[in-house]
Structure 1
Amino acid sequence: MANYIRLSENKRRLRKKNYKEMIANVKPRVDDTSPKLNIREALRAPNLRDDCNAFERIRRINNELLRNVNMVSRIGGQLNTFRDKMPTVARSRVPYMVLQKRLLEKDNEKFGQLLKTIGTTLDTHVDPHLLRRVKKDSVEFVVPAQILAKYSQLQMPPYSQLRRLLRPVIFLDFYVKGLRPAGRLTVQLYTEACPQVVLAFVRACHYRDKNNILVNRLFPGLWLDCCLQLPEAQKIKPERIEYDMRALDHNLPGTLSFSLDHQDALRQNALRFSMSLKPLRVLNGKRIAFGVVRSGIKVLDSMQVFGMKKSGKLTKEIIVSDIGLLATK
């Protein structure tokens, strides 16, 4: 205190000023800023699942407790906890089921042996008119007189052999690439309609040149466009082609026909033809029909899903897997 009194007035003011500046510039060592709030911790998001499970467990316990209280209130609290007899344990049905299975297998085996001994004389009590009948060709083959008149200078074979010559039968096996076999078409060709075209098909089927028949387009509900590649030696000249539009009409589905308008394709050793998917009578007199599908028309119907209606573009590639000739009677 004595030293303080001895200080002059100026020194006291100077010390006081320095003290105030020191107080003003003091920085606390403790971080007094507010902490950041974590929303996940505040809402306890990670523990919501545990809270729900705990709530569900407590609810089940309370329900069980209420049921027990209700039972006690109904019976007046009198419970018989003493059992004179031991609880019986249910026997397993597995051995019995295995035995039944073995007996059933023996019965099926005996029944199968019995079916093998049954002949065709078994009376099925089915009326004869309901039995399936073999379809026969109701139209007798007759050689058109106007066709034979054009070949009067030739020595014709016996009438019994004309059917094989004028009505060859071929087959075409179709396959949807990457999916499944489509099936087989049996086609009867009409030689009097266009001899050169029928001969080209017979040659291709005789040598099994399946790669020479290509499927280009498919118009659902109309027709299937195909192309027959011809060797150079068997080239058909458009100006020398012989045909007769009166031989066959487009009155049946599965009619094979071609148009003389595609002469450019013929000059390039390619015959463009089509298979109709329905009767197209409007084409009578406009296109040359030379064949008709005799069996397998459902194969054409099943392939309609792989063609586009407007452009005819194939959604799945259709190829001819095999071709050949069939013997006719």
Structure 2
Amino acid sequence: MSLRKRKETPLMNAAMRIRRENYIAHRKRVRFVHSLVDSTEPRVPPRSLADIDMLLVDASCYQQRTRDNVRMLLNLARTMRTRGRLDTRSCPNLESTSMQPTMLIHLKRLDKANIKLGKRILFAQLFGKSLCHGCAPTPYSSLVLSPSYQRRPESDSKLCLSVYSAVHEGKDEKEIFSKYAGWDLEMPDDKIELTRLLRPRIVLHFGSVDGRPLGVVVFQLYTEAAPLIVLELIRQCMSHKPHKFSVRRIFPTLWMDCYLQGNKTPLKGPIEFDTRVIDHGRQGYVLSCAKDYCLNGFPGAILNFTISFKPLRVLNGKRVGFGRVLRGARIIHSMELYGTRNGKMSKRVIVTHCDVL
């Protein structure tokens, strides 16, 4: 089918013309219209794009983080050094382990002993002269001696103690030998031999399992404190049997536990002891054993003794002190780092050599 074209009438032409004119007018109005809202892109300054203001904040944050890391490392090192004891206010005050005050006391005693010896020599000389001339001897108490010797300066106080002060440190000879009055004992007359008998000294060489030596420690023993224990130590050291000694446990700030496998007969039953010879609260690095072991015998006849790291006044009357460290206190103090709270050692310590001075 073919569609017939509609005939255009003048009215339709006029309507189309009016519509076209209205459209043209509308386009003109739309062309010059502008919005009340700013739709342009925001202008960002280059300073904000580069984030220059945040550089200072980032630098301060980096410095603060570095300070926190350094503080954390310092706290970690302190924890490793103190084994977790960070609160120093609750810990006991560390007492000085210097032997200088004790040595000064021994020097004063030595001076007094020298003065007495000089008086005796002077009295002997005057007594001999008086006998030769037939005069009455001068009484010993009236002698006044002005010693001509010069006292050693304070800087020399670190030298070893004299033989005389070592013998007369704890008790007098008469008090020591009074309990042996009923026994037929032959005591040496020489002062040096008497010192070797009452104050023997042993040497122990400590080392680690890997073969690295730790140092040499000199111990001075007290015979009147526990004669059988001192005799057992001297016997093993004279036989050069370092394998008999062993360090089992180390308790920091307390003591190190040692064992000695000796003869079973003398240590099997009660032994003689005296708890008043050494004062545990006066000095550290004291060799001691339990009082119950001396009363009832050592378990398995194995000598169990300890070496303290500091003065322990609470041990007076409870443990028998029979020796102390004369030289090498720093070596004993360094072995304290190998211990833990439960006594287990982080590195095994052994005795490589032993001897008697």
**TM-score past 0.5 threshold:** yes
Check 1:320–1:140 CA distance in 2 against 1; reply closer, same or farther (3 A cut): closer
Q: Please state if 1:292 is matched with 2:324.
A: yes
**1:207-236 Cα deviation digits (max 9, x unpaired):** 01111111000011110100110134x441
* Cα shift at 1:179: 6.0
Task: Return the match for 2:237 from 174, 183, 205.
Answer: 205
* Cα shift at 1:159: 5.0
Q: Please state if 1:182 is matched with 2:208.
A: no
Q: Please state if 1:162 is matched with 2:189.
A: no
Q: Please state if 1:227 is matched with 2:256.
A: no
CA contact (8 A) 2:228 2:266 kept: no
Which amino acid in the other structure matches residue 141 of structure 1? V
Q: Please state if 1:148 is matched with 2:172.
A: no
Root mean square deviation of aligned Cα: 2.3
Check 1:212–1:146 CA distance in 2 against 1; reply closer, same or farther (3 A cut): same
Q: Please state if 1:252 is matched with 2:278.
A: no
Which amino acid in the other structure matches residue 196 of structure 1? L
Which amino acid in the other structure matches residue 332 of structure 2? L
Task: Return the match for 2:343 from 296, 312, 316.
Answer: 312
Q: Please state if 1:135 is matched with 2:165.
A: no
Corresponding residue of 1:22: none
CA contact (8 A) 1:238 1:267 kept: no
In structure 2, distance between residues paired with 1:172 and 1:204: 11
Higher RCO (C-alpha under 8 Å, 6+ residues apart): 1
Corresponding residue of 1:119: none
In structure 2, distance between residues paired with 1:130 and 1:168: 27
CA contact (8 A) 2:206 2:352 kept: yes
Which amino acid in the other structure matches residue 155 of structure 1? E
Equivalences for residues 38-187 of structure 1 within 5 A: 135-137=159-161, 139=165, 141-142=167-168, 143-152=172-181, 153=183, 154-158=185-189, 160=191, 161-178=193-210, 180-187=212-219
**1:116-164 Cα deviation digits (max 9, x unpaired):** xxxxxxxxxxxx9796665242735224433210112333221512111
In structure 2, distance between residues paired with 1:281 and 1:131: 30
Check 1:238–1:265 CA distance in 2 against 1; reply closer, same or farther (3 A cut): closer
* Cα shift at 1:185: 0.7
Corresponding residue of 1:261: 292
CA contact (8 A) 2:260 2:302 kept: yes
CA contact (8 A) 2:268 2:297 kept: no
CA contact (8 A) 2:289 2:305 kept: yes
Q: Please state if 1:237 is matched with 2:261.
A: no
Which amino acid in the other structure matches residue 344 of structure 2? K
Indicate the SS of the match to 2:278: coil
Indicate the SS of the match to 2:161: coil
CA contact (8 A) 1:213 1:228 kept: yes
Give the fraction of aligned pairs with identical amino acids, expressed as a percent. Answer: 39
In structure 2, distance between residues paired with 1:284 and 1:231: 28
In structure 2, distance between residues paired with 1:198 and 1:190: 7
User: Where do 5+ consecutive residues of structure 1 fail to align?
Assistant: 1-127
* Cα shift at 1:322: 0.6
Which amino acid in the other structure matches residue 309 of structure 2? L
In structure 1, distance between residues paired with 2:273 and 2:158: 34
TM-score between both structures, scaled by the size of structure 2: 0.51
Check 1:159–1:220 CA distance in 2 against 1; reply closer, same or farther (3 A cut): same
Check 1:318–1:265 CA distance in 2 against 1; reply closer, same or farther (3 A cut): farther
